[in-house]
Amino acid sequence: MSVSEGRVVVTGATRGIGRATAHAILERGGQVIAIGRDAGLLDELRREDEERVRIVAADLTDLENLPSVAEEAFAAFEGVDGLVNNAGMARHERVGTIQLESLEAQLRLNLMAPLLLSQLVAEHFGSRGGAIVNVSSTLSERVASGTAAYAASKAALNAITKALALELAPGVRVNAVLPGVVDTDMIRAPRLRAGETPPLGKELEARIAAQLEALRSRHPIGRLGRPEDVATVIVGLLDHPWQTGSLVTIDGGLSIA
């Protein structure tokens, strides 16, 4: 597929990497079907380009509803050419405190939904072919304390990426990006006290800033990632005609530091 002429489904499109990916596709002339839970933020995105953006409000953890979500996405521009499985969640829990509800929620959104959506989209591609990019994490290969469930879900997503690439070739290319520390709501949220919501007190703001600075200083590139850094690679993988089954690390050099 070519992003400049493609119709691309982006999940988790209202914030962070998903929103940046939607913008990157639009900048290259493509069309976006944005999926997310926040109808208000989806509508904001739609208003940015009403001709080339369609929206589908959905909770992707409702796995039984995914066929209906997919059909709505397919109908938006009379077909799709690409899928970016970006929607995800991370809960900071040490192994001894992980609850079944938390484990299941992360597996549903981070693993099961991408797999099931990929099945539906691949069937829709048919002989036309297409491209799928999964958004994984460097934590899938290099875990940190408190990330067991999240890391496991992303490690499984890596395996699914390779299996899909093998089984759907040659018509469908499937790759994954493994972002490191990207400055998004997801990276900031675990650093908030339980129940704390913006605006934050000065003490908490200072603590979060100090933690992020400590993370920044460990990167050879000298800064945290930005959503646009990851979006650029995602769009490149959607376009690349000879790349499939790849796990592409984007972490500012943190993994080699």
Q: Give the pLDDT score at 194.
A: 37
C-beta of residue 105 within 8 angstroms of C-beta of residue 76? no
pTM for the model: 0.93
Domains and CATH numbers, the chain: 3-182+226-247 (3.40.50.720), 183-224 (no CATH)
The per-residue b/e assignment along 185-210, b for 16 or more CB within 10 angstroms, e otherwise, is ebbeeeeeeeeeeeeeeeeeeeeeee
CA distance 174 to 125: 13
Catalytic residue of the set 9, 150, 156, 254: 150
Predicted confidence band of residue 148 (pLDDT cuts 50, 70, 90):
very high
- A 10 A CB-CB count for 170 gives 7
- Indicate the average pLDDT of the chain: 93
pLDDT digits (tens, 9 = 90+) for 191-246: 444 344 455 567 767 877 888 888 889 999 999 999 999 999 999 999 999 999 99
The predicted-structure confidence for 96-108, as pLDDT tens digits, reads as follows 999 999 999 999 9
* Beta carbons within 10 angstroms of residue 145's beta carbon: 8
pLDDT of residue 208: 77
pLDDT of residue 185: 78
Provide the CB-side half-sphere exposure for 161 (13 A, CA).
Answer: 29
174 catalytically annotated: no
